Amino acid sequence: MKFTKAQEVIDYLYALPHLHPKNNLSFIKRLLLELGNPQDLVKTIHITGTNGKGSTSYYLSNLLKKAGQKTGLFVSPYVYEFNERIQLNNQNISDQDLVKTANIVQGTYEKLQQQDSTFSLVTFEYEVALAFVYFAQKKCDYAVIEVGIGGEHDKTNVIMPEVSVITTIGLDHEKIIGPTIQDIAREKSGIIKAKRPVVLGNVPEVVWPILKSKAEEEHAIVYQLGRDFSVLLDNQIVYQDHKRKLVFALRPQVEAYDIAVACQAFFLLKLPLSNEEVETAINQTIIPGRYQILRENPLIILDGAHNIQAMSNLLAVVHRMTQQKHGKLYALVTMMKDKDLEQVFSLFDDKDEVLLTTLSYPRVAKKDDFPIDVQKRYNYEKDYRAAFTQLRDHLGANDILIVSGSFYLVSAILTWKGKRDARTRAR
């Protein structure tokens, strides 16, 4: 098979299976070996975490670019288009390069299938291979690699990074890497590598012994938020370690943690960048679909918060804002039906006006997938565009509307409203 258009590549990827019978790295390692192990030709930073790994990846990528490094970025999910998944110096992979790279991967895949009829790839393995081949071909200095799910068994865990990063640990994907938070911590600790430093963000104390034990086993030096570096909010974000103090424009608390972790990881690379340049790089970073302002007055915020921890962080910010403004919170929400729906919806206040909706994706919750008490508490509108319009038209000057629960919903709203309508202003 030879691809000629980017959409052919994307359609092919989504037609591949999502899971192997065995949850190991043998398939991706075999493919990469046949491709010449492109993942070893570029220095990498590996980032995992229940929340914040995407934001941290964007901040770190911007810092590396500011330092004059040719920088690759592999993230998920995408908001506007698939090409966002693989970036070079903050520019999405072009359709031409996507097709060219996919043909290289496909040729190798077909060769391996001819040698072994049982050899197969899942969607994410193919995407990981695309990224590593592209970054190697473009001769990147560094590539920031965001984990898909977990850590130890994630298909990206085939690298020996310069720095490993664990942003947060909470409950998400319990059926895959859980069920307990300790199980999740053990899985995420799998990205800690021998004699390579690891940066820990806002992780709960209950799992610290697990991470510490893994780091000691790997002789990896640990840099921990709150111990080796700190971040404070006081009308601005203040980062501090034993060498420097930096001040950034105010963003939500959760973003402050991600900024601090990204800065600490960057400083471990010992690249030349002044404090002022670091501040500029962070302040200029725009993260699609994460606390993204669609409209200022009244305020409409798009955020792909899709688990308990992320939704809790988002609601803490917007509830505080509505209290200060004496306004009301409106929320348009859908989620994947395999998420902790009951716990997430329990985070909303009784006075919040929540409207449920859905999308035409198999995993997205339909009306009957929401818990019975959630169905009783909130109205449901199948058409997300009609639902958005309904809530928007009810907003008073001091009210806030959030669109949340899924990056798919954020993406759908942004695609519908258009890029130019979405002023991705850093907050």
Whether 332 is covered by a domain: the verdict is yes
Residues 313 and 279 occupy one common structural domain: no
How buried is residue 209: exposed, middle or buried, by Cβ count under 10 Å (0-12/13-18/19+)?
A: exposed
Nearby residues of 84 by Cβ (< 8 Å), 6 or more positions away: 75, 78, 92, 288
**What strands lie across the sheet with 43-48, from one edge to the other?**
91-92, 86-88, 71-74, 142-146, 43-48, 163-168, 198-202, 222-224
Look at residues 283, 310, 332 and tell me which one is the last residue of a structural domain. Answer: 283
Q: Is 37 left (phi over 0), alpha (psi -120 to 50) or beta?
A: left
Please give the pLDDT value at position 50.
Answer: 86
Whether 92 is covered by a domain: the verdict is yes
Nearby residues of 276 by Cβ (< 8 Å), 6 or more positions away: none
Whether 1 is covered by a domain: the verdict is no
CATH of the domain at 162: 3.40.1190.10
Whether 426 is covered by a domain: the verdict is no
Amino acid at 59: Y
Nearby residues of 292 by Cβ (< 8 Å), 6 or more positions away: 301, 302, 303, 410, 414, 422, 424
- Among 6, 161, 13, 5, CA closest to 76: 13
**What strands lie across the sheet with 292-295, from one edge to the other?**
292-295, 299-302, 400-404, 329-333, 353-356, 379-380
State the DSSP string of 310-373.
HHHHHHHHHHHHHHHHT--EEEEE--BTTS-HHHHHTTS-TT-EEEE---SSTTB--GGGS-HH
- Pair of tokens at residue 379: 């109205």
- Pair of tokens at residue 258: 């991600």
Residues 304 and 196 occupy one common structural domain: no
- Pair of tokens at residue 85: 């998944």
For the CA atoms of 235, 49, 309, 333, what is the dihedral angle to 10 degrees? 100
Placement of tokens 């471990």 in the chain: 268
Whether 239 is covered by a domain: the verdict is yes
Residues 262 and 301 occupy one common structural domain: no
Q: What string of pLDDT tens digits covers the 427 residues of the chain?
A: 999 999 999 999 999 998 887 778 999 999 999 999 999 999 999 999 988 899 999 999 999 999 999 999 999 888 889 999 999 999 999 999 999 999 999 999 999 999 999 999 999 999 999 999 999 999 999 999 999 988 899 999 999 999 999 999 876 544 554 468 898 999 999 999 999 999 999 999 999 999 999 999 999 999 999 999 999 987 789 999 999 999 998 777 788 999 999 999 999 999 999 999 999 999 999 888 888 889 989 999 999 888 887 898 889 889 988 998 899 999 999 999 887 788 899 999 999 999 999 999 888 999 999 999 999 999 999 999 999 999 999 999 999 999 999 989 999 999 888 654 444 433 3
Residues 193 and 326 occupy one common structural domain: no
Residues 124 and 266 occupy one common structural domain: yes
Whether 427 is covered by a domain: the verdict is no
Residue 163 pairs with which residues in a beta bridge? 45
For the CA atoms of 203, 207, 211, 213, what is the dihedral angle to 10 degrees? 150
Residues 326 and 262 occupy one common structural domain: no
Whether 247 is covered by a domain: the verdict is yes
Residue 277 pairs with which residues in a beta bridge? none
Look at residues 229, 254, 283 and tell me which one is the last residue of a structural domain. Answer: 283
For the CA atoms of 424, 231, 145, 156, what is the dihedral angle to 10 degrees? -130
CA distances from 142 to 65, 69, 102, 178 (A): 9, 7, 21, 32
Residues 240 and 345 occupy one common structural domain: no
Report the domain count for the chain. Answer: 2
At residue 156, φ and ψ (nearest 5 deg) are -80, -10
Look at residues 251, 283, 315 and tell me which one is the last residue of a structural domain. Answer: 283
* Domain hosting residue 38, numbered range: 6-283
Residues 23 and 48 occupy one common structural domain: yes
pLDDT digits (tens, 9 = 90+) for 247-272: 998 777 788 999 999 999 999 999 99
Whether 370 is covered by a domain: the verdict is yes
Task: Give the span between the Cα atoms of 54 and 75, in whole angstroms.
Answer: 6
CATH of the domain at 369: 3.90.190.20
State the DSSP string of 49-71.
-SSSHHHHHHHHHHHHHHTT--E
Residues 139 and 271 occupy one common structural domain: yes
Task: Give the span between the Cα atoms of 420 and 417, in whole angstroms.
Answer: 8
Residues 28 and 162 occupy one common structural domain: yes
Residue 355 pairs with which residues in a beta bridge? 332, 379
pTM as predicted: 0.85
Residues 191 and 296 occupy one common structural domain: no
Residues 37 and 131 occupy one common structural domain: yes
CB 301 within 8 A of CB 292: yes
Task: Give the span between the Cα atoms of 204 and 210, in whole angstroms.
Answer: 11
Task: Please give the distance of CA 154 from its chain centroid, rounded to a whole number.
Answer: 14
Task: Give the span between the Cα atoms of 187 and 49, in whole angstroms.
Answer: 10
